[in-house]
Amino acid sequence: MVPMQTQKPARMYWDSPFDLATRDFDGVLRRWFSDLEHQPAASFPVDIHEDENGVHVEAELPGFTNEQVNVTFENQVLSIIAERKSPQKKGNTHLTERRYTKVARSFTLPKTVDGQNIDARLNAGVLQLTLPKREEVKPRKIKIR
């Protein structure tokens, strides 16, 4: 016979008023310290593909505006950083889940990419980047005589 483990029922009461106060105080501290963390807590999904004309990047950044997204290209490294400040509190706040958010990703791209002519668009929460290839590395059709 296999021994069975039984679970204790969830407690719906506290042993003393101090247990309730401790739980509430721990919750306040947890929320306060989480507000102080200004490090990227998450990443975002990215698709990168290449064709004969260039490299194409699509990154999902829902809820970010053009002003909150920063794209840089330096030494063949493409960096995408999105940062959103905490919204201003209005009146008595009952619940705050929208907080400071910063996400970042970096990618090393091939030397064939022309970093001077990057096209960037943010539409419906999707950042679309087109990084064209330099003309000298694009395939050329050779005429046969």
Query: DSSP labels for 47-113?
Result: EEEE-SSEEEEEEE-TT--GGGEEEEEETTEEEEEEEEPPPPP-SS-S------EEEEEEEE--TTB
Q: What is the mean pLDDT of residues 136-140?
A: 77
What is residue 9's predicted lDDT score, i.e. its pLDDT? 52
Domain membership of residue 70 as a residue range = 41-86+105-137
Q: Is residue 9 part of a domain?
A: no
Sign, CA torsion 126/139/74/119: negative
Q: Is residue 33 part of a domain?
A: no
CATH number of the domain where residue 67 is located: 2.60.40.790
CA 134 distance to own-chain centroid: 30
Q: What is the mean pLDDT of the chain?
A: 81
40-77, pLDDT tens digit by residue? 446 899 999 999 899 999 999 999 999 999 999 999 99
Q: What is the mean pLDDT of residues 113-134?
A: 95
On the CB side of 145, CA atoms within 13 Å amount to 0
What's the Cα-to-Cα distance from 91 to each of 57, 88, 100, rounded to whole Å? Answer: 41, 10, 19
**Structural domain count, the chain:** 1
Q: Is residue 12 part of a domain?
A: no
What is residue 91's predicted lDDT score, i.e. its pLDDT? 83
pTM: 0.65
Min mean pLDDT across 25-29, 100-104, 136-140 is at 25-29
Q: Is 127 helix (H, G, I), strand (E, B) or coil?
A: strand
Q: Is residue 49 part of a domain?
A: yes
Phi-psi region of 40 (alpha: psi -120 to 50; beta: other; left: phi over 0): beta
What is residue 62's predicted lDDT score, i.e. its pLDDT? 94
Contact 81, 70 (CB under 8 A): yes
Q: Is residue 144 part of a domain?
A: no
Q: Is residue 66 part of a domain?
A: yes
Number of residues assigned to the chain? 145
pLDDT-derived band at 34, boundaries 50, 70, 90 = low
Does 25 score more than 90 pLDDT? no
Q: Is residue 13 part of a domain?
A: no
Q: Is 3 helix (H, G, I), strand (E, B) or coil?
A: coil
Q: Is residue 29 part of a domain?
A: no
93-122, pLDDT tens digit by residue? 888 787 888 999 999 999 999 989 999 999
